Chain A
Amino acid sequence: MIVRAFLAVLLIWTIPVQADERVVTGISKDNIALNASFNGSSLFVFGAVSRDAPIPIDAPKLDVVITIKGPEGPAVVRRKERWFGIWVNRVSVTVRDAPSYYAIASTRNLSDIITQTEMLRYKIGMDQAVRKVESHQKLYDTQPFAEAVVRIRMDNRLYSQRDWEVYLAEETLFQSEFEMPSNIVEGEYTAEFFLIRDKEVVSTGSTEIIVQKTGIERWLYNLAQNQPLIYGCLSVFIALVAGWVAATAFSLAKR
């Protein structure tokens, strides 16, 4: 243990002078209650770069990348194929650890500010989000299924990559806004911050955010999941009352 700790300290010391920049992060709240009633809500993320020495004049431009990742969970991905003239789900594949939400925002075009190696190392990028794909039917090419998860979730606004959407002022203060659609999963989200100079990550930081949904919709959802019998009886009861009240109101109005 002692040896390892020592090594770690050594490593920190050997990071080039540039790494004196650290990211100090902030999020509007780290326990967020989202109202799921309408089209979702947005999450405001901000932070600052703290540094011990002034930026050298010849230093390359600073860039910031922020990612937010939602709770991971398994999903079954199915593909329709033509079968006797109609389109039928024929092949299915399980994706083990796809994040339920994944958003990347950056100060400029992502591909211009960071190398492919660094993206792999820090697991940044859509292709990095969905990786563990398992085939039930001994399928050799599972890549299209992983791509389909990203494509469908981008359509549903659960995954997003937005370049030029982190605003960096004076190479010190940065901010961005993340859109959270109504159908996000509740749980622990991770926001990660990457400071980048010369296409390499010079500093990282992260915070956990607890996302909770509020409102009657969320209450109904949780009831349906946790107490399905009560929810079912309640649904029937509400329907009977609503149908009766509406019909009675109309027959009274007719008189």
Chain B
Amino acid sequence: MQLYLPIAEVSVDAFLLLGIGGMVGILSGMFGVGGGFILTPLLFFIGIPPAVAVSSAANQIAGSSFSALLAHLKRKTVDIKMGTVLLVGGLVGSSIGVAIFAKLKEMGQFELVVSILYVALLGTIGGLMFAESLRTIRRQKKNTPVAPRKRHTWAHGLPLKMRFRTSQLYVSAIPPFVVGIMVGALAAVMGVGGGFIMVPAMIYVIGMPTKVVVGTSVFQFLFVTGYTTIMHAVQNKSVDTVLAVILLLGGVIGAQIGVRLAAKLRAEQLRILLAALVLLVCFKLASDLILEPSEPYSIELSR
């Protein structure tokens, strides 16, 4: 069924979009990752203009974070104070990101920069995941115990200390603020939630307990991606609601399937599969940059 996307100004198959949303949903259900980092490149591949793909992905993440946040609030696994510090940083980062986005688009270099960023990001994530899964599988065979994690990190020596009761922490507000900025800028420029940066930073740099990490990051995603969506709509007029809603529906269905699949399959083997997929998308993006394009010219209307 062909569907016309009003802002992307292209017709695409609605079931293809649902399928892409569903696949990303399965990944997020299985691995607990947002999946924005794989969604946006897939949208490039089916011919959605990169600027629209990035902005609409932010809109989609806002939608999928909301119900997740409600669930976490019910379980009391959200550190709202920590989330607010991350959020303030996120709003600053997002504003910077939206401005960079607009400037790159005006220069005609947005597609190039976002492709390079994705190649770097997916190459790193895919490579790390691959190595990590191999190491875990080997460790399981040898049965060596995992070293316990230190709660006290270098971040505890910085000034501007705040008490975070839910996380049972007394740490500087600077590291979460800086992490927030980075994640916000990534949300605006790449259309990703940024969990792949925020979650490790929360655990290893800030030293938060694992049980509040996901809930707190979902809290931050909801407001930062919501703000990013509005900023993109105003500055760049690149948010396609129809696209976002279809991806969202596919994603919700996929997440349910993903949760069930994860219960049946072995996590380490799944992780290798995901790593392979990430590397494949990375490879395709890289080859699009390197190989001679079939149409070197492009038109942009000056409105």
Contact = CB atoms under 8 A, between A and B. Distances in A.
Do A and B pair up? The answer is: yes
A220 B52 CA distance: 14
A212 B185 CA distance: 39
Interface of B is mostly: helix
A238 B292 CA distance: 40
B67 A247 contact: yes
Nearest to B65: A243
Interface residues of B, number: 56
B300 A242 contact: no
A220 B243 CA distance: 12
Interface string B264-299: 000000000000000000000000011111011111
B262 interface: no
A239 B297 contact: no
A239 B244 contact: yes
Contacts, number: 173
B32 interface: no
Interface stretch (A2-10, A32-40, A46-54): A32-40
A224 B108 CA distance: 22
A232 B297 contact: no
Given A87-B293, A220-B242, A240-B62, A182 B298 contact: no
A39 B296 contact: no
B213 interface: no
A235 B4 contact: no
A80 B299 CA distance: 12
Given A78-B108, A88-B112, A239-B62, A94 B11 contact: no
Contacts of B299: 75-77, 148-149, 152-153
Interface residues of A, number: 55
A13 interface: no
A182 B291 CA distance: 31
Contacts of B68: 247
Contacts of A233: 230
Given A236-B229, A246-B252, A152 B11 contact: no
A80 B63 contact: no
B298 A89 contact: yes
Given A235-B244, A246-B252, A94 B67 contact: no
B66 A240 contact: yes
Given A217-B6, A228-B234, A246-B249, A76 B300 contact: yes
A73 B237 contact: no
Given A151-B295, A220-B241, A235-B244, 16 more contacts: A77-B299, A78-B300, A86-B112, A86-B289, A182-B9, A224-B6, A224-B237, A228-B233, A229-B234, A232-B239, A235-B229, A239-B63, A240-B62, A240-B66, A243-B65, A243-B248
25 contacts: A73-B301, A74-B301, A75-B302, A76-B108, A86-B116, A148-B297, A149-B299, A152-B297, A153-B299, A182-B4, A182-B11, A228-B234, A229-B233, A231-B239, A231-B241, A232-B229, A232-B232, A235-B241, A236-B62, A236-B226, A243-B63, A243-B248, A246-B67, A250-B252, A250-B253
